[in-house]
A and B are shown apart, each in its own frame.
Chain A
Amino acid sequence: MLPNKVEASVEEAVADIPEGARIMVGGFGFPGIPEALVKALMDRGVGNLTCICGPWYGGTRRTIGTASLIASGQVTRVITAPPVAPGPDPASEDDRMHLEIMPQGTLAERIRAGGAGIGGFYIPTGIGTSYEEGKERMTIGGVDCIFEEPIKADYALIKAQAADTMGNLVYRLAQRNWNPIMATAADVTIAQVDEIVDPGMLDPELVITPGIFVDRIVIAGGDNDPS
């Protein structure tokens, strides 16, 4: 029998995420944020989470997004890239939230390395800046580089436009962003989609995230209205 990865509800899809989990959340600005999964996770109230995400300046007031999860008090550690968005000021929160910040391309590459089984890599970005502090430096082919480690997660909450029941995913326009790389880098990848179709309904040439990377899929609402 073909695997059926479809979950009945967002609540069920995130039901087993425990306290202290490391969670990747996709999205850049508004497009691609799995807001229903994030909301379900907030409703569960599990704490001490580590959130791995891009800049979370989207979804601050009227909408549910990465920003609201981080503001919820459930997150104690954020691994992200600048700009670090408005929200709880880390300094005023009695160090309740630990921030690890790195250049955006380095974050993307570390997540991709986590998904691709790479043990670490040497990258020139950030050389001579504070990003280099505490990191190994090596000159390779005349270029000064910093050693960066892969990042993995227990769960990835991602958003795609459509899935088939085997978890193959397609994205629409700027919705893609962090989602395909995060899908590869977590033990359990949960995708919120607008539409689920039967296997064979997605053109294999157009599948961006193959189903082997995706464990659970659930249908939930469209993108937030940014107005």
Chain B
Amino acid sequence: MTLPKIPRISRELMACRVAAEIQPGHVVHLGPGLPEMVPPYVLPSRGAVFHSANGILGFGPRPEHDIGDVQLVGSGGRTVTLLPGASIVDQATSFGLIRGGQVDIGIVEASQVSESGDLVGPVEMGGGMGSHAAATDVAEGAKLVIAMMEHTTRNRSPRIVTRTDYPVAAKGCVDLIVTDVAVIQVTPQGLVVRELARGWNLADVQAITDPHLSPAPDLGYMSFWMIGGDIPSKVWKSGPEAVADIPDGATILMDGFAGPGGMAQYLIRSLREQGAKDLTLVSNTAGIANVASFGTPPGFLTIDHSLLVESGQVKKAIASYPVSPRPSQPSAFELAYRRGDAELELTPQGTLAERIRAGAFGIAAFFTPSGAGTTLAEGKETRTIDGREYVLEQSIRGDYALIRAHKADTLGNLVYKGTSRNFNAVMAPGARITIAEVDEIVEPGMLDPDAVVTPGAFVQRVVQRPADFHPYEPV
């Protein structure tokens, strides 16, 4: 085969082209190799949050003048800096957020990509040992997976292949391939060329590609322009606005353990005003704060889940402790349950927390010893593992989470106060839309990255509880 001698674009321009895919506010995972070249081409004003496998959210460029902080190394092994609003998580959370769908774009270096989007990691790295690194997790979990590579190998054989020559890091996961000659989309109908490097035509690219390529209707030359737009603000003016789009039938994660301290009471009241019906509440108690004292002043009731139960908005609760500690004073949910107005799925407290965590972090189901041999295990698969009986429990994912935190920055990073952390920190990653009610909203950089408990990547909306908000209602 005679190869056309047409100039290809540089690695820098490839990085620049990939950067153009990043939308304002995106969480972007960067794998080792070529993807590490992308950040300088992303304007800081776009507010992209770069994630590295070792648990940094919001890292910036390499330090300019010195070697940097040895305890601040990206997954590529070089020191990095932190941008205002950065946070640090452990390894399980770092990958949990990838599987949980919090990464908008995963950028990986590839050796080969198949017609159907199978990914082979960079096999040439490390003297031929290969370096899938986090590619398997990222390709599986990111909403959009971009593979970067030169279009052909050093000995000029195609990297876009009908069948891969090496074990795949992930199957059918690549969405977009950016090479030094073209931008190619992986579709169920096959590979579609969207853009060409200047000087190249479709036939030239086809000549160095195994599978058949079709042209996109608007096939043109590579564009390096960023689409404009502001970073969408996470700060909402009021509770009613923040909960306005919660539809009937939504599954809502909300709790404050039991007492009022960690409860998003302003959002609960806003949701009562909003009136959405047939809600499923995933919560520890389903509302016992207003029958269990917790320091409630005489003549008042604590605002809790009971407001929503009493207004007939709750169809079902998934809870561990839905009954009043005082039999003479049943909770609103107990009464609704006895009337047949609400269903209950009772689950042990630790299992509830673990099911929510599993839903947040892309774990479908897990075996727990809690509840084995009791009525709580009825109808569930059981398995004996190392001589102990375990029950299979399914994950729970919320449509919305109503979270109570102490402080947020405008990027949604949260810190909690005392025991009000409880279920809030578990629930925050677990919903499609997480709304946090906080006492104070500060600018990015005002929260210590080591002290952030819930990274902003998990939080979509932040509302300040009004200074004059009263967490009690008259009896």
Contact = CB atoms under 8 A, between A and B. Distances in A.
A103 B366 contact: no
A121 B121 contact: no
Interface residues on A, range: 35 or more
Interface string B66-104: 010111111101010010000011111011101100000
Contacts of B99: 105, 123-125
Interface stretch (B7-15, B136-144, B314-322, B432-440): B136-144
Contact of B168 (A111, A124, A128, A206): A128
A173 B52 CA distance: 13
Contact of B369 (A119, A138, A161, A227): A119
Contacts of B458: none
A206 B450 contact: yes
Contact of B137 (A84, A119, A125, A173): A125
A123 B358 CA distance: 10
Given A83-B131, A119-B367, A125 B77 contact: no
B366 A174 contact: no
Given A124-B364, A176-B89, A206-B451, A129 B170 contact: yes
Nearest to B125: A83
B390 interface: yes
B180 interface: no
Contact of B91 (A84, A181, A205, A226): A181
A173 B69 contact: yes
A141 B354 contact: no
A82 B134 CA distance: 7
- Name, among A126, A173, A225, the residue most crowded by chain B CB atoms within 10 Å (CB to CB): A173
A133 to B, nearest CB: 10
Interface in A105-151: 105-106, 108-109, 111-113, 116-131, 138, 140-141, 143, 145, 149
A50 interface: no
Contacts of A213: none
Contacts of A112: 92
Contact of B364 (A116, A123, A172): A123
Interface string B317-329: 0000000000000
B236 to A, nearest CB: 26
Contact of B171 (A113, A117, A120, A127): A127
Given A129-B169, A131-B136, A177-B90, A205 B416 contact: yes
Contacts of B362: 123-125
Interface string B361-392: 11111111100000000000001010010100
A117 to B, nearest CB: 7
A28 interface: yes
A178 B383 CA distance: 29
Given A109-B96, A129-B169, A177-B91, A122 B365 contact: yes
16 contacts: A31-B54, A31-B73, A58-B77, A86-B129, A103-B132, A103-B136, A104-B91, A104-B95, A105-B98, A119-B367, A127-B140, A129-B171, A173-B72, A174-B74, A176-B55, A205-B418
